[in-house]
A and B are shown apart, each in its own frame.
Chain A
Amino acid sequence: MRLFTQLYTELDETNRTGEKVAALVRYFAAAPAADAAWALYFLTGQRFKRVMSATLLRTWVAEEAGLPRWLVEESYDAVGDVAETLALLLPEQGDGSDLPLHRIVEERIAPLRTLDEAGQRALVTRTWAEMTTPQRFVWHKLITGSFRVGVGRTLVVRALAQVAGIDPAVMAHRIMGAWEPTAADFRALLDPDTQQADHSQPYPFYLAYPLEGAVESLGPRDAWQIEWKWDGIRAQVIKRQGDVLVWTRGEDLVTDSYPEMQALGAVLPDGVVLDGELLVWQEGAPLPFNVLQQRLGRKQISARLLKEAPVILMTYDLLEVAGADLRALPLAARRARLEQLAATLPADAAFALSPIVAAPAWEAVAALREASRERGAEGFMLKRLASSYGVGRVKGDWWKWKIDPFTVDAVMIYAQRGHGRRASLYTDYTFGVWEGDELTPIAKAYSGLTDEEIRQVDAFVRGHTTERFGPVRAVKPELVFELAFEGIQASSRHKSGIALRFPRMARWRRDKQPADADTLATLQSLLESVSR
Chain B
Amino acid sequence: MFPQTFDYTAPTTLDEAVKLLGGGAKALAGGMSLIPMMKLRLASPEHLVDLGRIKELNYIREESGALHIGATATHYAVESSPLVRTKCPLLAETAAAIGDVQVRNMGTLGGAVAHADPSADYPAALQALEAKIVLRGAGGDRTVSAAEFFVDAFTTVLNEGEMVREVIVPVDTSGVSYQKVPQPASGFAMVGIAARVKKAGGKVTEARIGVTGLTNSSFRATAAEKALEGTNGSAADIQKAAALVAQGSDANSDIHASADYRKHLAVVYTGRALIAAMGRAQ
Do chains A and B stick together as partners?
no
Binding site for A on B (CB under 8 A): none
